[in-house]
């Protein structure tokens, strides 16, 4: 995908958005536009430039792009996301059928969140990335839906407009972080193992209320229970049984927080025949009884 290219000798122009020299005082922290909306005006060629203080992600959903990023040439076909740090000179040549979005985010908004969230977003921009989306169709569909919602919100400001833009932008970037993280796990652990683990999580989602045993999951996945356990320990740091219990307790916590039903009723709904056993297990795993958890929540 990458090949060396000679960096341009001329001074690299700096834009707010390509072709716009300045950014208004009331400019929003998030900007979204269709790739074709701007590139078509320039005959599908976006010259080399930078954006001071603005991070960009180019989501190419269809078509091809030849990108010059900091002197390296990237040739990519959609669906793919390209991440670009403000300091990096970059330019693009798109195929005429190119379709997608350019998401631009102000650095102050991106890193306003302290701690782990800021670190998550930083991982996208430490170096430029080309994140393929074809291998994660479900996440790609969710990302495209968020980009469509961003476009609608940007076009029709309503109450809470600024917050909505920022939440949608963060959600989009977080899903992109997830795509990158899952690709890394698959690359380091072996794609076959990662796909098996993903199938296990899907089956847990389907059957956790039936309180399936590990052997039942192993049977439907056509693997030995010992292999399934080793795989879960390798990728999640927990046994297959612990993963099923975690999902059960997550649902219990949600119901205790949001559903105005008695503890016994919730226990039966989660597949427990004995509400007292549910309460003992909940306290063992969560550190408090269901009633205490509900009061705290």
DSSP secondary structure string for all residues of 239-254: -HHHHHHHHHHHHHHH
pLDDT for residue 205 is more than 70: yes
The token duo for 87 is 């300091």
Burial class of residue 156 in the structure, from the number of CB atoms within 10 Å of its CB (0-12 exposed, 13-18 middle, 19+ buried): exposed
Judged by phi (left if over 0) then psi (alpha if -120 to 50, else beta), residue 62 lies in beta
For residues 181-202, average pLDDT: 79
Decide if pLDDT at 147 tops 90. yes
Calculate what percentage of the chain has a pLDDT beyond 70.
Answer: 86
Using one digit for the tens of pLDDT, what is the confidence trace for 66-114? Answer: 999 988 999 999 899 999 988 889 999 999 999 999 999 988 887 765 4
More confident residue, 187 or 152: 152
- Helical residues (DSSP H) of 25-85, grouped into ranges: 35-39
Can you give the pLDDT at residue 114? Answer: 47
pLDDT, tens digit, 9 for 90 and up, residues 258-297: 988 899 999 999 999 999 999 999 999 999 999 999 988 7
On whether the CB atoms of residues 70 and 128 are closer than 8 A, the answer is yes
| Mean pLDDT of all residues belonging to the chain | 86
Q: pLDDT of 166-177, one tens digit each? A: 999 999 999 999
Asked if the 191-296 domain carries CATH number 1.10.10.60, the reply is: yes
187 — pLDDT class (breaks 50, 70, 90): low
Distances (CA, A) of 17 to 57, 92, 145, 164: 13, 14, 23, 21
* Position 16 pLDDT exceeds 90: no
Q: Where are the domains of the chain?
A: 2-188, 191-296
User: Model's pTM, two decimal places?
Assistant: 0.65
CATH number listed for the domain at residues 2-188: 2.60.120.280
Q: Which of 17-21, 204-208, 210-214, 241-245 has the lowest mean pLDDT?
A: 17-21
């Amino acid at each position: 995908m990458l090949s060396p290219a000679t960096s341009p000798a001329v001074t690299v122009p700096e834009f707010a958005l390509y072709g716009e020299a300045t950014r208004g005082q009331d400019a929003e922290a998030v900007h979204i536009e269709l790739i074709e909306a701007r590139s078509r005006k320039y005959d599908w060629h976006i010259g080399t430039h930078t954006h001071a203080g603005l991070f960009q992600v180019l989501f190419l959903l269809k078509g091809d792009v030849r990108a010059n990023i900091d002197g390296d040439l990237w040739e990519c076909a959609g669906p793919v996301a390209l991440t670009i740090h403000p300091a990096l000179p970059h330019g693009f040549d798109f195929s005429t059928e190119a379709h997608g979005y350019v998401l631009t985010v102000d650095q102050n908004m991106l890193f306003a969140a302290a701690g782990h969230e800021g670190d998550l977003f930083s991982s996208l921009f430490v170096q430029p990335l080309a994140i393929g989306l074809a291998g994660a169709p479900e996440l790609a569909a969710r990302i495209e839906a968020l980009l469509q919602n961003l476009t609608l919100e940007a076009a029709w400001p309503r109450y809470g407009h600024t917050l909505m833009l920022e939440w949608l932008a963060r959600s989009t970037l977080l899903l992109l972080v997830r795509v990158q993280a899952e690709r890394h796990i698959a690359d380091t652990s072996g794609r076959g193992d990662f796909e098996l683990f993903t199938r296990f999580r899907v089956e847990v989602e389907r059957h956790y209320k039936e309180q399936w045993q590990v052997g039942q999951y192993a049977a439907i996945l056509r693997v030995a229970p010992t292999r399934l356990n080793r795989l879960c320990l390798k990728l999640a740091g927990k046994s297959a049984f612990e993963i099923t219990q975690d999902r059960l307790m997550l649902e219990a916590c949600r119901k205790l927080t949001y559903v105005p039903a008695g503890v016994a009723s919730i226990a039966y709904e989660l597949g427990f025949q004995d509400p007292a056993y549910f309460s003992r297990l909940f306290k063992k795993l969560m550190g408090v009884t269901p009633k205490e958890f509900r009061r705290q929540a």
